[in-house]
Structure 1
Amino acid sequence: MYEREKAVVLKSSASLIPNNVFRVKVDGKVYAGVVHKEEVNVVCPGSPETEPRLVMARMSSSSNTGITIMQASWVEVRGQVLLVLATTQGVLMYDWDGSVLLHSHLLPCPPPDIPFSFTKGITALSTGYICVGVHTGEILVMCVGEGVEVSAVEKVRWHARPITALAAHGSLLVSGDDGGDISVAQDNNGLTKLYSVDSYGCAVTCLAAWEGQVLAGYLSGHLRIFNLQNGKIVAEIEHKYSMSEENTALCGGVFTDHLGSGYLVTGYDRRELICYVL
């Protein structure tokens, strides 16, 4: 059973967005990130006395007003760990701790009949591409070179609704949208769609892909596992165990390692990262 170990103080409270805790391991230390509006809190749960670091989302000197981070994540590409921010104005790519901005991709201004624009869903393929979803249903595919420079940005589109989640396994890309549809594509000298998984009538909020399986989380609270090769449903996950954080609207959680030896959660408007251990 997991037990509450400690709470690590953040510089700013967590925004109410899905998947609002993410983590990475660098030089043997686990770091976690939490989004607050236009900034990311970066903390080291193993060293709670260390001052949290803030990474600000800034597209350009003329477009900072009103920018909001919709999702943030660390990805590994070309042997380098990068921090990627998906925002309402475009995509920002930093070195792992957010100290150096390496690339920015600004979205075009939406037409008057579309009141919003955003990017959401972040992942990286083993073939050297970083992928980020867009509200139009498109996916930005950014080719990252050996020097971690972005040499090209392409777009693919298999969805009619806004992208809400992305995941990757090797050269396979899994994408989900707010209508509940899932698509799987493979990079073989270019991304080619393999198949789709029909909607269950509710938005996809998170995706994970590993060892021949896709785990999809839905806004309804359902978790479903699909075969990565053909999209056939394998199982629905049954709820067996839970812990409660009183008076907290949880908005993100992540395991501290691949063994599940601990996990981190945070809640809306809460300036804490809560740590649990086995």
Structure 2
Amino acid sequence: MYEKVKVINLKGSVAPQPKNLQVVSFDSNWKEVYIGASRKDTFMAVCPNNVPDAQEVTAVYKTKEKEHVTISSAKWCPMESCTVLVLGSQHGIQIYDWNGANIILDYDFTSNEIKKDEKEIIGFQARGIAAIGSSYLAVGLHTGEIVMFCIELQQENYICNFIGKFKNHVDYITELASSTTQAGKFLASGDSNGIICVWKEVAGQLVHHVKIQDWQGFPVTTITIWNRYKDGLLIVGYGNGMIRMFDLNTGKLVSEITAHCAWITGMDLASSSGLLLTCSEDGYVRVWQLSLKGPLIEHWYSQPIPDSLLMGAKFLDPNGSTFCLSSFDSSEIQVYRM
């Protein structure tokens, strides 16, 4: 099974946010791969492999006349012509080129008239980031809205256009995930009350498709989509440690498991092998095997991580042979390999 093989050090420690660990690869054999996480106003990333010209990435969310910026969500989004780094905060959304060197778009909440959430329970924040298809980008907001952009790289110039705002949540959005299946390009959104909405991208717009609201009460913390299962399998982690799987097209519950005994804080899917990686505040990392024959999901591996409040888990290759973990208030990224 998996064994710890090395530790990668970031420039700073990791903030206490679910899915606070991101990975991007720039080659097919996953040699030039970068691992990143955020703390306060800074997103930090390093390449764990011996790659010539590898960079240390440091992206700082910059604002004018505003203090105490906190990144609430960060993600690399591979598009058709480029890869962008998206940072969300309590002040807005900023889109950079992949290494944070140049800002492409600054979407400020105040100037774009984004107000407090309807229940006025939390402050402003952007949570959940997903690339849809080849050029669209979606970000979830505290208002229950999803804002959508179109991003293209023409020669050396980025073209970024605001598409619109789409709403079908009352509570604030906590997570987004997207995938392309035989039935189309889908986006799934989850909120703080456990409600899930499935959207389809149609002619550059989000069209609401299915609403799943039978399991309210615990927030959605992680979402991923397995597009090899029929019309797509929606895999959702919750604040109570449950994992539920739904048919992406119909919203029907397919399977559920008690995966952890605390908040699920990280989830990733190895697209080639069907391995599902999860981590939780209970201090455990687990790997599950998804299958199209026999049981849909089976427990495959479990490991306690001592003295760690886990904040993120990511595979480092599409087969799932290597994964990494981040922990709150630690700069160490732990790497495990078969």
Tell me what 2:194 maps to: 180
Q: Tell me the CA shift for residue 52 of structure 1.
A: 3.8
| Aligned: 1:158 with 2:173 | no
- After superposition, give the CA deviation of every residue in 1:143-164 in whole Å (9 maximum; x if it has no partner): 2234332122410001000000
Amino acid across the alignment from 2:234: V
Q: Which residue is equivalent to 1:3?
A: 3
- Structure 2 runs not aligned, ≥5 long: 260-298
Do the aligned partners of 2:151 and 2:160 also contact (CA within 8 Å) in 1? Answer: yes
Q: Which residue of 2 aligns with 1:56?
A: 60
Say if 2:59 and 2:101, in contact at 8 Å, map to a contact too.
Answer: yes
Instruction: Please state how far the C-alpha of 1:74 moved relative to its aligned partner.
Output: 0.7
What letter matches 2:37 in structure 1? V
Give me the whole-angstrom Cα distance separating, in 2, the residues matched to 1:276 and 1:44: 15
**TM-aligned CA deviation for residue 61 of structure 1:** 2.3
Cα offsets for 1:205-238 (capped at 9, x unmatched): 0111131111101011111111111011111246
Partner of 1:137 in structure 2? 144
Q: How does 1:1-278 map to 2 (within 5 A)?
A: 1-27=1-27, 28-47=31-50, 52-58=56-62, 60-63=63-66, 65-108=67-110, 110=115, 114=120, 116-147=123-154, 148-170=158-180, 171-189=185-203, 190-200=205-215, 201-211=217-227, 212-237=232-257, 239=259, 240=299, 241-278=301-338
Q: Distance in 2 between matches of 1:204 and 1:231?
A: 15
8 Å CA contact 2:37–2:43 kept in 1: the answer is: yes
TM-score by length of 2: 0.77
Any stretches of 5+ residues in structure 1 without a counterpart? none
Describe the shift of the 1:52–1:229 C-alpha distance in structure 2 as closer, same or farther (beyond 3 A).
same
Structure 2 residue matching 1:243: 3-state secondary structure: strand
Identity %: 30
Q: How many residues align?
A: 276
Question: Does the 8 Å CA contact 2:81/2:152 hold for their aligned counterparts?
Answer: no
Q: Which has the higher contact order (CA 8 A, sep 6+)?
A: 1
**Over residues 114-134 of structure 1, what are the superposed CA-to-partner deviations in whole Å (9 max), with x where a residue is unaligned?**
461000000011152100000
Alignment TM-score, normalising by the size of structure 1: 0.93
Offset of residue 79 of structure 1: 2.7
Check 1:111–1:197 CA distance in 2 against 1; reply closer, same or farther (3 A cut). Answer: closer
Query: After the TM superposition, which parts of structure 1 deviate over 2 Å for at least 4 consecutive aligned residues?
Result: 47-53, 60-63, 108-115, 145-148, 237-241
CA root-mean-square deviation:
2.1
CA distance in 1, matches of 2:141, 2:109: 9
Contact 2:19-2:222 within 8 A present in 1 as well: yes
